[in-house]
């Protein structure tokens, strides 16, 4: 039965455990059966609503991978462009930051309109924008219209991912929520990587326009799967009166959300922002070091190895989190993976080589994804459903804003070679400070939420 349909007094063992850790730093709970990634996936796929949401996510993110290969081929890796690493980082920041700002608008709609209908309509709108990109990419020059169409595609994609996160509690039972938050985004990332590989193969034997058109097939499939979803919220939604009221509703909705969002939610959103900084900074530093330390013929292989290491770190976190989190408690687990990040920065940073940066990418991937899965589950446990859409939209903005700020800072502060060691000290200290502070801070805000609730 979907979590939204269960009586409010019925709580699963995992939900009760998460409630308990909100009031005090947890001691290790009784041993639970080990949950493997594949076993969790099999259990989740037995639930029809999750299957349909899963198909929509896989199709959507797989098409993202294909589309972004075409975009990179057309813009970043064109011989006539000859963009250096800093130019790429700055262009990345310019594109990513504006489309993250769509989050507040997405949240208002996701908290007031039928989320299933929104997911269908937005996927279809993205399909139209991608067709426009295919048409505009046929020109010899990269036009402003091309970038505008790409911006629309990215903006709508961020809208979709927020909707998928907000819909998840409605298609799984609460005892499977941690597993679902591990499995669904990780499989989405794998689908993105597979899509990227498929797009790379297509780009080698066809044109960028053909690659974009193939990605459109995945978007159409995602829209079809979303149309077959059950009710995915929001609970007790109010109809939005019209488009002309949107700006006012955004402002009013976020004032209300800022006033009533539990303190625990605010702490978790801050944690998301801070843990993205090392990932974004090291992403650009790795690129600079690879370009400086390897020959032109080996750079593609070295960059692919670094990307694979980071993806492996994300995957390992997805395997470990559903098993370890219930054993040690959510906050203690988050502190542990943050400490792993601190050790990785301190131990691997000084080597300043492509292999050490790839290994560090793996460690940071484990740490950041472990925190992300934990935060997802805690937000869905402690934030009321009528605020979830806005919360995950803000979450999404902060998740990407951390990456943008880090990449822009790296572009401004790092030398062309990337060979400096001070960032590793800074981020080791950041990870360690977060690991030590998260427990006491969680106790404090939990006590405040229970004794002096906001709103």
Does residue 404 lie within any of the structural domains? no
**Is 167 in the same domain as 240?**
yes
* Total count of domains within the chain: 2
The residue among 125, 123, 129, 199 whose CA lies nearest residue 164 is 123
Q: How far apart are CA 221 and CA 229, in angstroms?
A: 13
**Is 344 in the same domain as 433?**
yes
Mean pLDDT for all residues in the chain = 81
User: Is the Cα torsion angle 300, 302, 303, 305 positive or negative in sign?
Assistant: positive
pLDDT surpassing 70 at residue 177:
yes
**Is 220 in the same domain as 272?**
no
How many Cβ atoms are within 10 Å of 140's Cβ, its own excluded? 6
What does the pLDDT read at residue 384?
A: 83
373-392 pLDDT, tens digit per residue, is 999 989 988 888 878 877 87
**Is 376 in the same domain as 427?**
yes
| 258-282 mean pLDDT | 89
**Is 225 in the same domain as 290?**
no
Which residue, of 261, 276, 307, is where some domain finishes? 261
| Domain of 240, in residue numbers | 36-261
What does the pLDDT read at residue 298?
A: 74
At 174, which CATH number?
1.20.1250.20
Q: How far apart are CA 109 and CA 106, in angstroms?
A: 5
Q: Please answer whether residues 374 and 248 qualify as being in contact, where contact means their C-beta atoms are separated by less than 8 angstroms.
A: no
pLDDT surpassing 60 at residue 125:
yes
Helix (H, G, I), strand (E, B) or coil at 263: helix
366-378 pLDDT, tens digit per residue, is 999 999 999 998 9
Predicted confidence band at 14 (pLDDT cuts at 50, 70, 90)? very low
**First-to-last C-alpha distance (Å) of the chain:** 30
Does residue 141 lie within any of the structural domains? yes
Predicted confidence band at 148 (pLDDT cuts at 50, 70, 90)? confident
119-133, 142-156, 281-295, range with greatest mean pLDDT: 119-133
Burial of 222 (0-12, 13-18, 19+ CB in 10 A): buried
**Is 296 in the same domain as 358?**
yes
**Is 67 in the same domain as 172?**
yes
**Is 343 in the same domain as 355?**
yes
Question: Of 26-30, 208-212, 252-256, where does mean pLDDT reach its minimum?
Answer: 26-30
**Is 270 in the same domain as 257?**
no
User: Is the Cα torsion angle 199, 203, 206, 212 positive or negative in sign?
Assistant: positive
Q: How far apart are CA 389 and CA 169, in angstroms?
A: 12
**Is 148 in the same domain as 164?**
yes
**Is 266 in the same domain as 256?**
no
Helix axes 177-205, 354-382, angle to 10 degrees: 140
Predicted confidence band at 395 (pLDDT cuts at 50, 70, 90)? confident
Give CA separation, 163 vs 104, 122, 334, in Å.
12, 10, 25
Q: How far apart are CA 155 and CA 153, in angstroms?
A: 6
How many Cβ atoms are within 10 Å of 316's Cβ, its own excluded? 18
Which residue, of 261, 296, 322, is where some domain finishes? 261
**Is 301 in the same domain as 197?**
no
Question: What is the pTM (predicted TM-score) of this model?
Answer: 0.66
For 193-258, the DSSP string reads HHHHHHHHHHHHHS-HHHHHHHHHHHHHHHHHHHHT------TTPPPP--GGGHHHHHHHHHHHHH
| 158-181 mean pLDDT | 87
């Amino acid at each position: 039965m979907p979590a939204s349909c269960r009586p409010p007094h019925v709580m699963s063992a995992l939900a009760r455990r998460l409630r308990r850790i909100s009031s005090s730093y947890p001691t290790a709970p009784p041993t639970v059966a080990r949950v493997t990634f594949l076993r969790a996936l099999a259990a989740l796929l037995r639930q029809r609503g999750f299957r349909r949401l899963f198909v929509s996510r896989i199709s959507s993110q797989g098409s993202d991978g294909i589309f972004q290969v075409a975009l990179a081929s057309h813009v970043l890796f064109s011989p006539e462009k000859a963009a250096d690493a800093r130019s790429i980082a700055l262009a990345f920041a310019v594109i990513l930051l504006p489309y993250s700002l769509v989050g507040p608008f997405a949240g208002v709609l996701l908290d007031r309109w039928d989320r299933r209908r929104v997911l269908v309509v937005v996927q279809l709108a993205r399909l139209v924008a991608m067709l426009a990109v295919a048409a505009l990419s046929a020109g010899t020059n990269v036009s402003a219209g091309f970038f505008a169409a790409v911006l629309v595609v990215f903006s709508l994609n961020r809208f979709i991912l927020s909707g998928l996160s907000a819909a998840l509690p409605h298609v799984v039972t609460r005892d499977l929520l941690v597993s679902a938050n591990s499995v669904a985004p990780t499989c989405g990332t794998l689908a993105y990587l597979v899509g990227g590989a498929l797009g790379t193969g297509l780009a080698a034997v066809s044109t960028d326009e053909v690659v974009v058109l193939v990605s459109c097939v995945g978007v159409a499939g995602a829209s079809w799967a979303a149309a077959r979803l059950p009710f995915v919220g929001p609970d007790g939604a109010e109809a939005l009166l019209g488009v002309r009221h949107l700006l006012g509703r955004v402002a009013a909705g976020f004032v209300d959300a800022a006033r009533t969002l539990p303190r625990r939610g605010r702490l978790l959103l801050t944690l998301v922002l801070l843990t993205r900084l090392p990932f974004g900074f090291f992403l650009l530093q790795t690129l600079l070091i690879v370009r400086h330390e390897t020959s032109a013929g080996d750079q593609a292989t070295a960059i692919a190895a670094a990307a694979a290491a980071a993806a492996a770190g994300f995957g390992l976190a997805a395997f470990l989190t559903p098993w370890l989190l219930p054993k040690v408690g959510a906050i203690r687990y988050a502190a542990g993976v943050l400490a792993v990040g601190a050790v990785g920065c301190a131990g691997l940073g000084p080597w300043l080589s492509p292999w050490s940066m790839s290994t560090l990418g793996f460690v940071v991937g484990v740490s950041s994804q472990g925190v992300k899965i934990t935060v997802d589950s805690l937000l869905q446990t402690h934030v009321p459903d009528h605020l979830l859409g806005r919360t995950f939209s803000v979450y999404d903005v902060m998740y990407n804003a951390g990456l943008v700020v880090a990449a822009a800072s790296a572009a401004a502060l790092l030398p062309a070679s990337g060979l400096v060691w001070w960032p590793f000290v800074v981020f080791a200290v950041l990870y360690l400070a977060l690991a030590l502070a998260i427990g006491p801070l969680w106790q404090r805000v939990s006590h405040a939420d229970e004794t002096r609730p906001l709103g």
